[in-house]
Structure formats: C-alpha cells, structure tokens
Amino acid sequence: MNPLKSVNGTIILGFVTAVAIMLAVGGDGLNKWSLVVWLHVFFGIIWIGLLYYFNFVQVPAVGEALADEGGPGPAAINKYVAPRALWWFRWSALLTWLSGAAALEVMGIGLKNAFTLSGDGQIIGIGAWLGTIMLFNVWVLIWPNQKKILGMVEASADEIAKGKMVALMASRTNTFLSIPMIMCMVGQGHGGLPF
C-alpha cells in the first residue's frame, strides 16, 4: 500500500523518515531539546499555514463566491473544507503552544523567565506572549464564532453576522501578531533580533 495515498500514511512516512535520518546521523542528531523544538516548529507550521490559508485564500474566495450570482457559491467550502481546516487549525494551535511551553523548559529558559521577560527569556518570551494571545483568539473567539457561521450550532442571523466580524477580526489579529511572533521565535535561536 502506498502511504502517500492517505494523509495519515503521509504523516507517518514523514515521521519514520525523520527518525531514519536521526539514526543515520547518530550521535547528538536528535536529543530531547531538538525533538521538542522540532515538534513545536512542526505544529507551528500547520497552525500558521492554516492561518495564512484562511486569510489569504479562503476568506477572499468565499467573499467572491458570495458576490458571484451565477457561480456555485461558498457552500462547498463552508460545508467540506472549512470544518476540516478548522479542526487542524485549532488542534495545531494547542499543540504548538504546549510543545512551545515544553521547549522553554527543556531549553533551560523556563516558562517563568519567558513570561516575565527575564534574562535569556526576553526575546522568546515576547513571542510566547504573542502566541498565547493567538491561542486564546483561536479557542475563545474564532472557533465558537465559526461554529455559528458554518451552522454547526444554532444561531440567529444577527448572531451569525456578529460572529463573522468577531472571527474575522480575531483571525486578522492573529495574522498580524504572527509576523513579530515568528521574528521573536527565530531571533531566540539565532542570536537575537535581525537588526
């Protein structure tokens, strides 16, 4: 069976290949520090990739579909694509935050130093705060309102209209916060900010 014919098979193949590379390199190819950081980056790519997909592709496409009177409308996206994308989006957000918290501990920075912006935790701490705000937005503002928008929970027309604005503003906030957050995360591992 070809593992590339399913998403699960593809992910498993990727992890098996990563472990094979680690074993082939040997030595310190993968220690608990790099494993946790690697998982943090892996989950973060899924989360931020979907965030950018929603903001750069899906939201504008749904808007165009709504405006196209003779077109197919946004039903397919809203019924089949959005719920699946939102599942990956919210769980990758949580796993990114949890693996980031674990990375802070195993790297010796610690949650306390990061969140109090103390010592070596200042740059990464700013990124951790931005990521925490973004996680809050995903679970408290975006997801509950998307359930209304997509008809997963009952809501009035007014609640849906309000939900669209709240979800959009929270998503756009996460998009703009992701830019300095990524700078802080990369800056920590590469000797500081890029200026």
Q: 192 vs 74, 108, 123, 185, 189, CA distance in Å?
A: 44, 17, 7, 9, 7
- Tell whether 8 and 85 lie within a shared domain: no
Do the beta carbons of residue 114 and residue 128 sit within 8 Å? yes
Domain membership of residue 194 (yes or no) is no
- Tell whether 77 and 169 lie within a shared domain: yes
Write the pLDDT tens digit of every residue in 111-153: 999 999 998 889 999 999 999 999 999 999 999 999 999 999 9
Residue range of the domain that includes 22: 1-30
- Tell whether 15 and 35 lie within a shared domain: no
- Tell whether 9 and 93 lie within a shared domain: no
Question: Is the pLDDT assigned to residue 30 strictly greater than 60?
Answer: no
Domain membership of residue 195 (yes or no) is no
- Tell whether 15 and 40 lie within a shared domain: no
Write the pLDDT tens digit of every residue in 37-73: 889 999 999 999 999 999 999 999 988 888 888 888 8
